[in-house]
Structure 1
Amino acid sequence: MSVSSAIMVTFLHANNCFWIFSATERYWKSANIIESIFYCAVPLFFMISGVTLMDYSKKYSTKTFVKKRMKKVMIPYVFWSLIGIFWTHYLFPWNGQKAVLSFKDIVAFLVNGNGIRYFWFFIPLFMIYISIPFLTSIDEKKRIKIFSGYVVLYLLINGLIPFFNSFFSLEWNTSSWAIPVMGGYLVYPLAGYVIHHSEFSKSQKRFIYCAGIISLIVMILGTYFSSIRIGAISELFRGDKNLPCLLYSFSSFLFIKDIFPKIKRIDWFRKGIAFFRSYTFSIYLLQFFIFDWIERFSVVDQRSILYRLYFPFVLCTFIVGITKFIRLFSLGRLVLPK
């Protein structure tokens, strides 16, 4: 599942032309479809954290948990963010003038998650990590029930009501309804845990899949027609915590859970997944530099459908090669962990 999420992120970034709205050119229609299909990439990444980390206490202490997260995630984040800051402000500044950054500026980049523009998700990820030790204190026998209740209430309070409020312009002050423990992205690791550890009936699966498919269609068509109407990209149907994305992400996670045991019986597929799994985090960390270089210096038509559909596979292969080389050195293994 981690491999799927990493590859999906590269499709999103290769599809960057989505953010250049055009009501007349064909590229934006396909870009809107691609953007919507792979929109659940980061939510899936958060959901995986709920599956892999929620039971950490069975294997090691909280102190060890913190050390592992620091070594595997925090150190690479800080290192590559600093490289990214140097890249964008000194090596290849957009306006041609090198920036003068103070220590305060650099710290702000790191704290805000924008040392590299793709790294915004690290900050909510760290907040999820901080929450995990508290969640593991919940009796394992009660987790499914408690987490399920959390997810359902989140869908209602943070998903359904705000969505209909925006869609129908009801002008309700939904921010005053906010439940403190239901802020941020915590719903995703909890939903991931519930889906992974639950056995759903056929009717339940059909309901979840239908909700996901309808949500995807709503994102595609809703974004298209509302954007055409206002002459700019409409955010009404978008947002990682918006109802369509929540439902689509949950159904996508369930689909991958259901389909993976079947396709892993294919020998070459199973070996490929096993090989790429140790490079997925490197894909998150390094892809910015390649995409940024292409945006600045390449003559490649980034609106081409061929580029947007095939380049992610080229990119992932290239990053695997770079990672294998960097890991030859001890520092490389520290900043590009498996």
Structure 2
Amino acid sequence: MDTTRPKEKEREYWLDLLRFIAIFMVICIHCADPFNISPEARANPEYNFWGSLYGAFLRPCVPLFVMITGALLLPIKENTGAFYKKRLSRILIPFLIWSILYNCYPLLTGMLGLDPAVVSETFAYAGPHPSQSLEDTIARLVAIIVSFNAYTVHLWYIFMLAGLYLYMPYLTAWIEKADRFQYKIYGAFWAATLFLPYAFRFTAPDILGRSAWNSFDTFYYFAGFNGYLFLGYCVKKYPLALNTATRYILCAALFSTGYLITYLGFRYMTANPGSTENDVELFFLYCSPQVALMTLAVILFIKPVKIRSKTVRKYLARTTQYGLGIYLCHYFVVGLGYAISQKLSIPVSVRIPFTALVVFAISWIVVHLFYKATPRYARWIFG
């Protein structure tokens, strides 16, 4: 989740709407984990179908957040030191607090005499026999500044976001000096890197200079989420002059093409018993051509939307304020949301979005109550 909060007089509400969509999509993805993670779930035709259907549809969520960050922050106006202090403290302190809470949860359940199955029901990646020992808890806590684990799997995003923040002052320096031709060249090279995971998987892993002693291929230096940062900046600075019909046709074509490739590729990989974890994730990669097409379609579709309702604007702005907090705490609630869905016998076809609605509502209320009760401390807990 990006952590920018535009001032009211400068607010662009289409970005608030886009952020709300992205937050909900992220929660949906995590609510789809019980459908996609275990071999047993993937072997269930109904779970496999709906997990693949929703999972493929939701892939633009993280690229959308990165594009929003680029649209709002690039080019950076502060000096590098001030930018680092403001942005990194905003995410790292809540990151440390929630990392400790998540990693101590198994130990706490053990101290309360609860069965380890409670941990597995809370965290989809915990496995059937999670450890509740003090020793394993300490080992996880020691490692939190360099890695995530089954209890903090969603916090991979914070590591990536911190890297983008470190990189942004240098991207800004280039943006301010480069011309539109250089922008196009950079974008073309970045687009080429999106195809590399498939080249490495389906041709040979050691091409373009990659080898056992070198991980940095020819196009490595143009790769990664920094491309989405730059794309977000470009979409805002150079809006496409399209009439409504052309825009919607273009968005439909981009999204449907990306979606079909993502869905069919993921189904193909999960249908193969010999697929590795990397194979299963191949068509779900955020930095891939089909996901980039879907992401661009969503942002082009939402950009011209005008939001005139003051009530809707208010709650979209509030969700923007709470966004990072919702992201940090929602993973505690996913297991509960899924249990509620099962208890209510929600059909499998709509269980993922229903669970996401429950998780989003609970998380939003929790963050809202904290901000109301203690706004001074809530900012450091929830970002």
Alignment TM-score > 0.5, same fold? yes
CA contact (8 A) 1:162 1:174 kept: no
Q: Compute the TM-score of the two structures, normalised by the length of structure 1.
A: 0.84
- Which of 154, 173, 179 aligns to 1:137? It is 173
Alignment partner, residue 269 of structure 1: 312
Aligned length: 329
Counterparts of 1:50-65 in structure 2, within 5 Å, are 50-57=70-77, 60-65=78-83
Counterparts of 1:108-127 in structure 2, within 5 Å, are 108-114=143-149, 116-127=152-163
Distance change in 2, residues 1:170/1:231 (3 Å): closer
CA contact (8 A) 1:5 1:41 kept: yes
- Which of 204, 207, 219 aligns to 1:174? It is 207
Alignment partner, residue 189 of structure 1: 229
Amino acid at match of 1:287: H
2:355 matches 1:311: yes
TM-superposition CA deviations, 1:166-218 (whole Å, max 9, x none): 3xx32262362343432432111111111222122449955565233201111
Alignment partner, residue 285 of structure 1: 328
CA contact (8 A) 1:50 1:192 kept: yes
Alignment partner, residue 67 of structure 2: 47
Distance change in 2, residues 1:302/1:75 (3 Å): farther
Amino acid at match of 1:3: F
Alignment partner, residue 15 of structure 2: none
RMSD of aligned alpha carbons: 3.0
Amino acid at match of 1:212: F
CA distance in 2, matches of 1:143, 1:75: 38
Alignment partner, residue 8 of structure 1: 25
CA distance in 1, matches of 2:218, 2:335: 38
CA distance in 2, matches of 1:12, 1:332: 26
CA contact (8 A) 1:10 1:312 kept: yes
How much has 1:272 moved relative to structure 2? 3.0
How much has 1:51 moved relative to structure 2? 1.2
TM-superposition CA deviations, 1:87-123 (whole Å, max 9, x none): 1344365436324148664242221134611111111
Alignment partner, residue 84 of structure 1: 102
CA distance in 1, matches of 2:360, 2:205: 45
Distance change in 2, residues 1:107/1:292 (3 Å): farther
CA distance in 2, matches of 1:320, 1:162: 36
- Which of 184, 187, 198 aligns to 1:163? It is 198
2:291 matches 1:245: yes
How much has 1:276 moved relative to structure 2? 2.0
Unaligned 5+ segments in structure 1 are none
Amino acid at match of 1:133: P
Q: Compute the TM-score of the two structures, normalised by the length of structure 2.
A: 0.75
CA distance in 1, matches of 2:62, 2:309: 27
CA contact (8 A) 1:14 1:308 kept: yes
CA contact (8 A) 1:148 1:194 kept: no
Unaligned 5+ segments in structure 2 are 1-17, 111-115, 120-129, 210-216
CA contact (8 A) 2:88 2:162 kept: no
CA distance in 2, matches of 1:189, 1:143: 17
Counterparts of 1:21-40 in structure 2, within 5 Å, are 21-40=41-60
Alignment partner, residue 212 of structure 2: none
Partner SS, residue 199 of structure 1 = coil
Amino acid at match of 1:129: Y
- Report % sequence identity: 20
Distance change in 2, residues 1:122/1:6 (3 Å): same
Amino acid at match of 2:320: R
- Which of 123, 132, 146 aligns to 1:97? It is 132
Alignment partner, residue 335 of structure 1: 381
Distance change in 2, residues 1:295/1:178 (3 Å): farther
